[in-house]
Homo-oligomer: A and B are copies of this chain.
């Protein structure tokens, strides 16, 4: 009645989830180990070590949350926000709003700063606000996939530290594709995504945090797990982290030498993440970032040669995602459908004010391959011609090839 999985082999050129590296797929096939098997705890430790390199940090704590990217964001915010805390969120796209929403749900007084979609903040604007508001937490998105913009963070980290604020960065879209220098930029907690530049399936969220965050966690009252004496207290306690699953203080005891039972680690996803990290470290961070720049350059050259307009400020463009304006008179969704049905290519639309106005094309991780970039350019040109759009026929693939051939 239910058949064997029989899916099309798509070329996935979205801001994620993107194509999974075949080595990662194979790693997931490995028969599992128990969570307290010494071989498995060894794999957990090794993964922490590799994550530190990915995040370019000396932090002790670097481990995945067993959930999708926003689970990592919620784990960090839920564990450090106490009701009434002031959280400053500079917003330049859809995922800034997510930081606001999560912070509010945990009782924060959120102060926002907004800039037009397609732009980022001059660091000085954010710095002045930090000095004015003196928040407990500054939470910010590094790469906004909704607008394909990337916020420079370094000076903001320094300003946050200056006023004693914790600097929390959503690096979901950037980790593994463009530099995320946790220590150098004075980021106190960072959250990465697996299904984007790491080319690992969605389902885990690597995070790292430093001793400043750890101090907050340990200062907050810890709920002892399953102790009968707590049962008699029905009082709400503001100091308690309001979630069990995302309580980073419990997760430290699970990932640390105590190995206190919390959840059951998601074995096969951990194998996937470990293999994805191994691929990153084998390629080398710098080489990987260069590769992302190269495919971005080829894609942009192709799109412009075709006669399309890129969306957003070029100077702060998010490397692994390119936003392009949908030509006037063209139905963006019809183009996407034809790309999917006739060419097995997926590109993305966008959110909110940009819905129907731009397409977003990713060149992330394993999806960032010359073959894919040339295929998407050729296909987009063909579909646009089919829909009667004015494009410079025959130019796009040539322009991309020029980039690849260093001409």
Which one, B19, B32, B105, B231, contacts A110 given CB within 8 A?
B231
Instruction: Note all chain B residues with C-beta closer than 8 A to A25.
Output: 28-31, 268
B225 lies within 8 A of A98 (CB):
yes
Q: Give the total of A residues in contact with B, Cβ under 8 Å.
A: 98
Using known A-B contacts A32-B19, A66-B203, determine if residue A5 contacts B269 with beta carbons closer than 8 Å: no
Instruction: Note all chain B residues with C-beta closer than 8 A to A70.
Output: 244-245, 262-263
Q: Is A97 engaged at the interface, CB distance under 8 Å to the other chain?
A: yes
Instruction: Note all chain B residues with C-beta closer than 8 A to A31.
Output: 7, 9-10, 19-20, 25
- Nearest chain-B residue to A5 (Cβ)? B30
Instruction: Note all chain B residues with C-beta closer than 8 A to A107.
Output: 236
A39–chain B nearest beta-carbon distance, Å: 5
**Copies per assembly:** 2
Interface string of A342-358 (1 = CB under 8 A from B): 00001000011000000
Instruction: Note all chain B residues with C-beta closer than 8 A to A78.
Output: 243
A242 lies within 8 A of B106 (CB):
yes
Tell me the complex Cα distance, A269–B10, Å: 18
Interface string of A209-238 (1 = CB under 8 A from B): 000000000000001011110110110100
A229–chain B nearest beta-carbon distance, Å: 11
Q: Is A71 engaged at the interface, CB distance under 8 Å to the other chain?
A: yes
B68 lies within 8 A of A263 (CB):
yes
A94 lies within 8 A of B26 (CB):
no
Instruction: Note all chain B residues with C-beta closer than 8 A to A71.
Output: 66-67, 245, 263
Which one, B32, B98, B100, B352, contacts A12 given CB within 8 A?
B32
Interface string of A12-32 (1 = CB under 8 A from B): 101011011000011111111
Using known A-B contacts A10-B33, A264-B202, A346-B37, determine if residue A67 contacts B245 with beta carbons closer than 8 Å: yes
Q: Is A240 engaged at the interface, CB distance under 8 Å to the other chain?
A: yes
Q: Is A400 engaged at the interface, CB distance under 8 Å to the other chain?
A: no
- Nearest chain-B residue to A46 (Cβ)? B2
9 contacts between A and B (CB under 8 A): A2-B277, A7-B31, A7-B43, A9-B31, A17-B35, A19-B32, A101-B230, A101-B244, A106-B242
